[in-house]
């Protein structure tokens, strides 16, 4: 089913697929190109060729497999972030082991999806991630929650500690955080709260600073794990 392009979609998301199985790669390309707002501009069967293609074509988003021949997807993700941190990377894999989830997120991946994801859902993930959102497949979310570093103490936070964490956030920031946890982009947050995108971005930056985290994924994980929301 082809998605209908809305007026709010100002530009097409340019996508590169790095996947070693040709059948999977061709299937993804064919399926995604049916949707408005997404254009697959390149594909590669290994990471080294993929890196060269990414440097040349400068996509908005990369769909990255983990189990690639030679250089794996985690190392490739790290290298991409070094030469262009603005390129968004979605890990699309059948791997659900804890250490791979943690390594992928630690390498700078913006989303982690399993290959049984529905096409419509994947399209939404691609579009949201291209706008700055983070996304974790529900099937591996619990793994990520358990693996992220605990706060200063390894003990479970008590009610007073949770209250203290909440106290640092304003009421509006709590609203933004709830939307961030749902995977909303800055644009979507702005629309939901009827504020400018600049204001939404400012709130997100303030939340990251107050929660002492580096990115939106860590903020979402920490807020769930520590019962802040």
Element (H, E) at 13: strand 13-18
Q: Does the pLDDT of residue 222 top 80, yes or no?
A: no
Same domain? For 114 and 171 the reply is no
- Residue 101 resides in a domain: yes
Q: Does the pLDDT of residue 153 top 70, yes or no?
A: no
CATH number at residue 47: 3.40.50.2300
Q: Among 91, 121, 143, which residue terminates a domain?
A: 143
* pLDDT in the model for residue 1: 43
Q: How many domains does the chain have?
A: 2
Q: Which of 145, 142, 141, 165 minimizes the C-alpha distance to 229?
A: 165
For residue 30, name the pLDDT band (cuts at 50, 70, 90). Answer: very high
Structural domain harbouring 136: 13-143
Over residues 160-219, the pLDDT tens digits come to 444 455 668 889 999 998 888 776 778 888 999 999 989 998 999 998 888 888 777 777
CATH number at residue 164: 1.10.10.10
Same domain? For 107 and 213 the reply is no
Same domain? For 174 and 212 the reply is yes
The residue with tokens 């993700």 is: 77
Over residues 63-109, the pLDDT tens digits come to 999 989 989 998 899 899 999 989 999 999 988 777 677 778 778 89
Same domain? For 162 and 69 the reply is no
Pairing, β 135-136 against β 61-64: unpaired
Same domain? For 131 and 180 the reply is no
Average pLDDT over residues 111-136: 91
- Residue 210 resides in a domain: yes
Taking the whole predicted model, whether its pTM rises above 0.75 is answered as no
């Amino acid at each position: 089913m082809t998605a209908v392009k809305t007026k709010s979609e100002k530009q097409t998301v340019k996508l590169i697929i790095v996947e070693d199985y040709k059948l999977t790669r061709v299937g993804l390309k064919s399926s995604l190109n049916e949707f408005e707002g997404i254009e697959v501009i390149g594909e590669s069967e290994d990471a080294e060729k993929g890196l060269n293609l990414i440097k040349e074509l400068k996509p908005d988003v990369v769909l990255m497999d983990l189990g690639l021949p030679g250089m794996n997807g985690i190392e490739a993700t790290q290298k991409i972030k070094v030469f262009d941190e603005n390129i968004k990377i979605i890990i699309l894999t059948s791997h659900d082991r804890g250490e791979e989830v943690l390594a992928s997120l630690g390498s700078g991946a913006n989303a982690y999806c399993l290959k049984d994801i529905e096409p419509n859902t994947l399209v939404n993930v691609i579009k949201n991630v291209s706008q700055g959102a983070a996304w974790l497949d529900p099937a591996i979310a619990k793994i990520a929650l358990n693996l992220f570093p605990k706060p200063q103490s390894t003990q479970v936070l008590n009610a007073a500690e949770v209250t203290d964490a909440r106290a640092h956030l304003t009421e509006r920031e709590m609203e933004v955080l709830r939307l961030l946890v749902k995977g909303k982009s800055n644009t979507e947050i702005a629309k939901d709260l009827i504020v400018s995108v600049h204001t939404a971005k400012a709130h997100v930056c303030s939340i990251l600073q107050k929660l002492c985290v580096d990115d939106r994924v860590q903020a979402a994980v920490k807020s769930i794990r520590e019962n802040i929301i």
